[in-house]
Amino acid sequence: MIDMVDRPVKDLWRIFRVMAEFTEGFEELASVGPAVSIFGSARSKPSDRYYKLAEQTASELAKAGFAVITGGGGGIMEAANKGAADAGGESIGLNIELPMEQIPNEYQNVSLDFRYFFVRKVMFLKYAHGFIVFPGGFGTMDELFESLVLIQTLKQACFPVILMGSDYWDGLIRWIKEVMLDKYAFISPDDLDVFTVVDDPKAAAKIIIDFREAEGPVGIELPPGMKKSQDAPRVS
């Protein structure tokens, strides 16, 4: 009985905590210039090929003037923060509190802490001008498919979503094409144009740089059914 009485009070304080996280995130990131969110496994080691590719990719983006946003942990996140910081760029980590505590990597020059995954995910999306997704697990897939859904449904401005590593993504993409599209028609052919698979850091950076430059007054030609970013508002 006591628990039932206390629950509304606990939920009310939870609302305040959520609001505080949103407020801090908006205040800290509102002044960030063009940024790219980079995702990937926290289990990737510095000796892994994708760790090195993430570091190189972030470095290319930082040199081009982009801030790099990661989840602030180890593996691919650490590699991307390291690449951005070493190149003199803005290296942002959106750290999350976990039961098995995530240790923030040392390469963040802007660091925020979140208790709630959904607040953190809004920050990844709201301030991104592109996503680069390296091989990863459930968390990586969650971020990837959320971004694809928001672009597909025009809830998010269309921006590049790049899957780094054809050897990792080929099986998933084949299943999307053969099962989701061809067999069941649960997606449209145009939905396959939302993402691009690359294997080279310079190529990934060039896609985002070219997209950013094309977002000028003339605009950019997008896949059929997609609105230009100035017409489709970002998550707000």
CA distance linking residue 210 with residue 208, whole number of Å: 5
Cβ atoms of 19 and 115 within 8 Å: the answer is no
pLDDT at residue 223, rounded to an integer:
39
Kindly give the residue spans of alpha helices, DSSP state H, lying in 30-137: 49-63, 76-86, 117-126
pLDDT in tens, 180-201: 999 999 999 999 999 999 999 9
**Is residue 6 scored above 80 in pLDDT?**
no
Question: What are the tokens at 79?
Answer: 């590699």
Point out which residues pair with 70 in neighbouring strands.
93
Return the domain boundaries, the chain.
2-213
pLDDT in tens, 198-229: 999 999 999 999 999 887 533 333 334 433 33
**Is residue 231 scored above 50 in pLDDT?**
no
Q: Which of 19, 235, 25, 38 is nearest to 113 (CA)?
A: 25
CATH assignment, 2-213: 3.40.50.450
Tell me whether strands 195-198 and 67-70 are parallel, antiparallel or unpaired. unpaired
pLDDT in tens, 32-42: 989 999 999 99
